[in-house]
Amino acid sequence: MTKVFRQLCLFGFAVATPLAGQKQGPGHSLIPIKEIDAKLEKLASGYETVEGPLYDGKGHLLFTDIPNQRIWQLNLKTLETTLFRDETGGANGLAFDLRGRLLMCKQREKSLARLEEDGTETVLLKPTRMGKNKKIQSVGVNDVVVDRKGRIYVTVPGAGSIYLLDSDGGNPRPVINGLKGPNGLMLSPDEKTLYVSEYKEQKLHAYEVDPKNGNASRRRLFAHVKPASDYGCDGMTVDHLGNLYCAGPHAVRVWSPKGKLLETIAVPESPTNCAFAGPGSNVLYVTGRKNVFRIRLKTKGIR
């Protein structure tokens, strides 16, 4: 058992199992579980489409219910949920900027907005594309990640693009084009690699990031999830070892930085996203279609 795999051992909440039809490469084995009958823990339920898990650093997990246009706040200690924000314009992916202001990918309003300290919102991006009828059409944004310099990366599925904005939210420009429905995105711990998922294609791509300007280049196929599914590769996160966690289809999969599949964690409903949260950053929170789950790890999350 490798050093990387040993630190991924789980305890407490869940059983990780391979899915039917999921090929396991060399070195891919079950994560040891102390309690044989342990199951994935469901924390919150009754939502329509859950997304955007984000830790606020103060003991709460924010998550979105897209169709109902709400952002909820889960107290990680009491497990009580309270309404954080209503009428969100279909908020999907979330992130904080360097000043702690909330960034929201508004699916219905097709914009990236920033929640200001006074409760107002500032629209940072409303992307467009040229339609088949040669008319300019608005396209939505899906997910967002912020680097340590405050630069903002956003996926724009309808345009097949990744946009980059300066730390102040200005100067939006496409830095990646030609993708088929880019969805989730995540930076490696050293921020030298940008990962992007193509949802329906069930592919993960890795790009080299220029530290000076944040531009991404030299695309390589990082992983291709098979067989085909009604769901796809969605939101992502990383741990301190550089392992990449991707939600969907039907599981959270864990890859090493070199693209080796380490584990497949089955989820009762196809997950949409995942994020580390809480003291110690060793609990992975997973948003399903209608529920929020968690699983305790021995590794530590970065985002």
- Least Cα distance to 235 among 263, 282, 270 occurs for 270
List, as one string, the DSSP characters of 161-195.
EEEEE-TTS---EEEE---SSEEEEEE-TTSSEEE
The domain ranges of the chain are 3-296
pLDDT tens digit string along 159-201? 999 999 999 999 999 999 999 999 999 999 999 999 999 999 9
Nearest 10 degrees: Cα torsion 43, 45, 48, 53: -10
DSSP class of residue 279? G
pLDDT tens digit string along 282-295? 899 999 989 999 99
Question: What band does 97 get if pLDDT is binned at 50, 70 and 90?
Answer: very high
Q: Is the model's pLDDT at 48 over the cut of 50?
A: yes
pLDDT tens digit string along 143-170? 999 999 999 999 999 999 999 999 999 9
**pTM of whole model > 0.75?**
yes
Top-level class of domain 3-296:
mainly beta
